[in-house]
Structure formats: C-alpha cells, structure tokens
Chains A and B, each alone.
Chain A
Amino acid sequence: MIIDVIGLIFIVIGFAFDVFGCLGLVRLPDVYNRLQAATKCVTLGTCSILFGTFLVVGFIAAGMKCLLCMIFLLLTSPVAAHAIARGAHRSGVKLWEGSVVDKYAEDKEGEA
C-alpha cells in the first residue's frame, strides 16, 4: 500500500515536469532553447511516470516492460535532440537575436 502511494507521487512529479517542458516549448524564443527545455523536462518526466507505473503494478510483465522502456528512453532521447540541433544548424536556422556568441558558425565559415 505504501509502495502504491510512492508510485503515485512519482507519477504526479512526472506530470508536473511534462507540463513545464511543454510550457517551455511554447514560451522560449528559438529552436535550440525549445529543444533544451523540452528534451530535459519531458525525458525525466516520462521516465518518472514509467518508474511510478513500475512501482504500482509490481514485478509482472508490464512492470518489466516499463523498466526496459525507461532505459531505452534515457539512451535515445539525447541522441535525437543532438541530431535535430545539428540538422537545424546546418540547414541555416539562425539563433535568437539576444544570443551572446556562436562559435560554431564562426568555425564553419573558417572551413568553407
């Protein structure tokens, strides 16, 4: 019973981080900042939801699949974010005008 309550607390924390991540997706000004907020918050939020589900349902088939899915998300979500950021910068998406420095564009102009 106490384990169920702990699992539900994990699920609530996960929902809060999901909503914050999507709020960042709406509010922040350019692609890279949106990618930062969304990737961090939604990855940890969904992992927290899956861990809470594992605690609630226990060591049955669904719980084991939750753990596997959690490991998979933690490994692949940063790779997807990295690929999107690289593709966006190479396709010419500008940084926000309040940005301070862009070493990557300087180095690429030096090469080309």
Chain B
Amino acid sequence: MKNIRWLIGAVIIVAIVAFIVFRPLPFLFYHKLPYVGFVGRALYIILLACVMCLYRIWKGPTSADRIVAVDILGIMIVGLCAILTISTGRSWYIDIGIAWALQSFISTLALSKYLEGKGFEE
C-alpha cells in the first residue's frame, strides 16, 4: 500500500517536471534578455515547491507545522527574488529579498515565542 502511494506521487511529480521542461512560462520572453527560457522553466519548479508548502499549511495537524511551513516559504521567496533579478535585469528585486529575509526571521521568532506560551520579557 505504501509503495503504491509512493509510486503515484512519483508519477505525478515526473509528469509535472516534464510539463515544465516542454512548456516554459511565456510572459518573460519579450524582454530579450539572456537565459529567459531557463528562467521561465525554473520559476515553475519553485512554484511547485511553494505549492507543497501551502499543502502543509492547509493540512497541518498542529500549529507548529504551520509555523514551520511559513518559515520555509519565506526562505524560498528569497530565492524567487534572486531568479527574478536575473530574468528581468532589475536589481531592486534582490532588495525585496533582503527585506523579506529579515522580516521573516523576526516574525518566526515572535511566532515561536507565542507558541511557547510565555511573555516577551524573557
């Protein structure tokens, strides 16, 4: 039973990756910059990982699972901003990435303090 479930999941992921390789994201093509086809495929893969995080946020049995998923989503969005820096050639996307990393770290610390059930004085 476990092997059958694993096989179904593997087939779904291989199908999604094959779709990604053959159908790149079209809206980035008019920039005429280098590596646009590569980046158009790469954005799909990071969106696949983000969808997995959203599944864990939706389904998580405890609130600690949801906090973990939010933290991981915040780290991956930094990578997404770096990729957008290459594809569009605008360097302010990485500024968004740095600000997002700082804010995500502080919000994770605050959420874990809330989870611990103590005040903020300690």
In the complex, A38→B65 CA distance in Å? 11
Taking CB as reference atom, which chain A residue is nearest B117?
A91
Taking CB as reference atom, which chain A residue is nearest B108?
A80
Q: How far is the CB of B101 from chain A (nearest CB, A)?
A: 6
- On whether the beta carbons of B91 and A61 are closer than 8 Å, the reply is yes
Q: Would you call the interface of chain A mostly helix, strand, loop, or mixed?
A: helix
- Given A31-B65, A56-B86, A69:B98 Cβ within 8 A: yes
Q: How far is the CB of B96 from chain A (nearest CB, A)?
A: 10
Residues from chain A with Cβ under 8 Å of B102 in the complex: 72
Q: Is B35 an interface residue (CB 8 A)?
A: yes
Residues from chain B with Cβ under 8 Å of A49 in the complex: 79, 82-83
Q: Range of interface residues on chain B?
A: 35 or more
- On whether the beta carbons of A73 and B52 are closer than 8 Å, the reply is no
Q: Is B40 an interface residue (CB 8 A)?
A: no
Taking CB as reference atom, which chain B residue is nearest A76?
B105
- On whether the beta carbons of B86 and A84 are closer than 8 Å, the reply is no
Q: Is B69 an interface residue (CB 8 A)?
A: yes
Residues from chain A with Cβ under 8 Å of B15 in the complex: none
- On whether the beta carbons of A87 and B46 are closer than 8 Å, the reply is no
Those of B7-49 within 8 Å (CB) of chain A: 13, 34-35, 38, 42, 45-46, 48-49
